[in-house]
Every structure is written in structure tokens, then in C-alpha cells.
């Protein structure tokens, strides 16, 4: 459920409304024992982490408050008693909220007055976004705000050798970066791999089958154990440069206008040879029990099923839980259909 109001966050119980009226940092400051200026800085720097990181012990009526810039004061639980375990304070260390008794509050101030949202407790999910060849984390710029608005925590990754300024990165370095993000997530993240990065997402499921909640593959099949990661295009001077649009004519690029093509090509980051020619290693059979969603942009789900049945992806053929989603776009839906892609990812995270 989502409730919106200009100044008041309402809910099913009328008695709740008194907790959310007349918000201001000045009113919040005495409750948390700091100045109103400190409250403003806290909101600016830690708001997203506090507002969008529910803890498992929250009751199902948890309320999270955010504004249009994805900031907020933290998780808020309406209550009548003084159970300090359920009463958050908007302060903490290293982005982690501390907890105190707010049971005596007649009204709970909130710092943001616009676009307030009510999210049922426990629905927010970390979504790791891994773009394919030649792309860095900015490839997801149009998807991130859509996912955030849907109540999730998108985490676009810029991989070693693809936008971080290094040219000597290896495939192992890229996988290590993905696993570090998986390990850093407070819960079980949804791992999204676009195009050839489907192999990185699947490798994360192999390395952390107990930690990855689900894998979403957008326009790509994961490479099998022992296969090269991306041995597709020519290597020049130790890197694999973007080969030009001639290699992607047809359904891959049919929805890209010339301006978008020029923008993607000009921003393309040459991929280090040691990444492209790196060998995929998979070892843990538990990866087959990790749920998989295969998003089919430039092909139909029926075509994807035929290719898997024909042996194009031995690993997906063995996946216990495999779902197909049709997305009518070219190979770069994060550019041409960001809102639709975000909805697909949000549904995958929520199911």
C-alpha cells in the first residue's frame, strides 16, 4: 500500500495521523539529542540508508518515510507502549540506526514534506545491478530512481577495468567486486546481470548460494564452467573496444535512435583482455537451487526456451526455479525502457 499526502502520512488507523503532522528538523532535534543543523546533515548523508533498511524484527506495520530525493529520517513504528526494541531514533554510527524510547512523543517530526510513502515492513530489497561489456555503473542511471521509488535499494556496480580507471583488471577481480557487494548487503540481495554479465551474476550465485536471494539475467545466458567469459570480439592493444553498431544490427538495436547510439558508443569503456578472455569457474551445485528470472528483451521467452532446450545454456537447463519474462525492447532496456525494466526487477525482488 502507498499513502501520499502533502503534509501528513496517513494510514488505515485514523489514530496514526497525529504522529505525522507538522514535521520539522527543529521538532526532531530534541528527540534525538542533537541540534537541528546536525539533524539536517544526518538526513542528507544517512537518510537513504536509514529509511530504506528495515530490520527483520520490525512489525508488519512498519512505516518508512522518504521524499522525492530519496531521503528520510528513518524507520518509524507507531506504538502506544515504550518497548525500546521497537522504537527507532534517527541517529546512529556508520549509517546504522540506534534505538531508543520515543513512546512519550505526541507527534513524530519528519524532515520531508513531499511525496511521502508508506511501505509495508520488510519489503525493501538490495538489488545489485551489473551491466555488460563496455558499460559502467552509470548504465543504470535511469533505472535507479525508478527502483528507489518502488521501495528498493538499487546498487549499480562499476566493475574493475570498466570505468574505475584501471586497465589491468581480470575476470577474477570483477567477480571479487560483485561478491564484495553481495557480502556487504544486510540481507539476501537480488543480483542482476545484463548481457554477458549474466555470467557474473550466476557466478555470484555459485560462490554465495546461501546469500543470493535470486538472480535476474537481462538479455544474456551464463557461460558454462570452463568457458571464456566474453570471447566475442577482436582484442586491440590488450583491450576489447566497442566494435561499432554493425555487430548489433537488428533486434538488438532496433529501438535505439542515432543520438542514443552515439551516446552509448562515446561512453563505451574498452574491456581488458584479461576480463574478456577470462575463464568462468563454477563449482557449487547449490547454485541450481537459486531462483532465476530470465528477462527476454530482444527475443521472446519461447525462443529462449528453445535455445536452452537445444543446449545453449546447460546451467539454465538445470535450474530448479526458472522464470521467463518478456520485455519488448532491444538489448539495452535500461536505456530504452528503464521504467518497465525497474518494474520487472521490483516484481522479481518482491516475489
Q: Domains of the chain: which residue ranges?
A: 14-99, 126-350
In whole angstroms, what is the distance from residue 66 CA to residue 43 CA?
10
Q: What is the pLDDT of residue 34?
A: 57
In whole angstroms, what is the distance from residue 253 CA to residue 27 CA?
53
pLDDT digits (tens, 9 = 90+) for 237-273: 999 999 999 999 999 999 999 999 999 999 999 999 9
Q: What is the pLDDT of residue 165?
A: 86
pTM exceeds 0.75 for this model: no
Q: Which residue positions in the chain have pLDDT lower than 70?
A: 1-123
The three-state secondary structure class of 340 is: helix
The dihedral built from the CA positions of residue 319, 324, 325 and 330, taken in this order, carries a sign that is positive
Residue keyed to cell 529501438:
255
Query: Count of alpha carbons within 13 Å of 36, Cβ hemisphere only?
Result: 9
What region does 226 belong to: left with phi over 0, alpha with psi -120 to 50, or beta? left
What's domain 126-350's superfamily in CATH? Answer: Alpha/Beta hydrolase fold, catalytic domain (3.40.50.1820)
Amino acid at each position: 500500500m502507498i499513502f501520499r499526502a502533502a503534509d501528513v502520512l496517513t494510514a488505515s488507523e485514523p489514530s496514526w495521523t497525529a504522529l505525522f503532522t507538522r514535521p520539522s528538523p527543529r521538532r526532531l532535534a530534541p528527540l534525538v539529542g542533537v541540534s537541528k543543523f546536525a539533524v539536517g546533515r544526518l538526513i542528507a548523508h544517512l537518510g537513504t540508508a536509514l529509511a530504506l533498511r528495515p530490520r527483520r524484527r520490525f512489525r508488519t506495520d512498519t512505516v518508512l518515510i522518504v521524499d522525492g530525493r530519496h531521503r528520510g529520517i528513518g524507520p518509524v513504528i507507531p506504538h502506544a507502549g515504550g518497548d525500546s526494541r521497537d522504537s527507532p531514533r534517527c541517529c546512529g554510527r556508520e549509517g546504522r540506526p540506534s534505538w531508543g524510547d520515543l513512546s512519550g512523543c505526541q507527534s513524530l517530526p519528519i524532515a520531508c514534506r513531499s511525496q511521502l510513502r508508506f511501505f509495508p515492513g520488510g519489503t525493501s530489497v538490495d538489488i545489485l545491478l551489473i551491466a555488460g561489456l563496455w558499460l559502467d555503473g552509470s548504465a543504470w542511471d535511469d533505472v535507479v530512481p525508478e527502483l528507489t521509488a518502488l521501495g528498493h535499494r538499487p546498487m549499480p556496480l562499476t566493475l574493475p577495468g570498466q570505468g574505475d580507471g584501471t586497465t589491468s583488471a581480470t575476470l577474477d577481480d570483477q567477480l571479487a567486486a560483485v561478491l564484495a557487494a553481495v557480502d556487504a548487503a544486510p540481507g539476501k540481495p537480488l543480483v542482476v546481470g545484463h548481457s554477458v554479465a549474466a555470467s557474473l551474476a550466476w557466478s555470484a550465485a555459485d560462490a554465495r548460494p546461501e546469500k543470493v536471494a535470486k538472480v535476474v539475467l537481462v538479455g544474456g545466458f551464463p557461460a558454462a564452467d570452463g568457458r571464456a567469459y566474453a570471447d566475442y570480439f577482436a582484442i586491440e592493444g590488450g583491450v576489447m573496444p566497442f566494435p561499432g553498431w554493425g555487430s548489433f544490427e537488428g533486434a538488438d538495436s532496433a529501438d535505439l535512435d542515432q543520438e542514443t547510439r552515439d551516446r552509448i558508443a562515446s561512453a563505451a569503456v574498452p574491456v581488458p583482455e584479461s576480463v574478456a578472455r577470462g575463464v568462468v569457474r563454477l563449482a557449487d551445485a547449490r547454485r541450481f537451487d537459486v531462483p532465476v528470472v530470465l528477462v527476454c528483451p530482444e527475443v521472446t521467452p519461447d525462443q529462449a526456451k528453445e535455445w536452452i532446450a537445444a543446449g545453449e545454456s546447460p546451467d539454465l537447463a538445470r535450474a530448479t526455479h526458472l522464470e521467463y519474462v518478456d520485455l519488448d525492447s532491444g538489448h539495452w532496456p535500461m536505456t530504452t525502457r528503464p521504467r518497465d525494466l525497474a518494474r520487472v526487477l521490483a516484481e522479481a525482488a518482491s516475489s
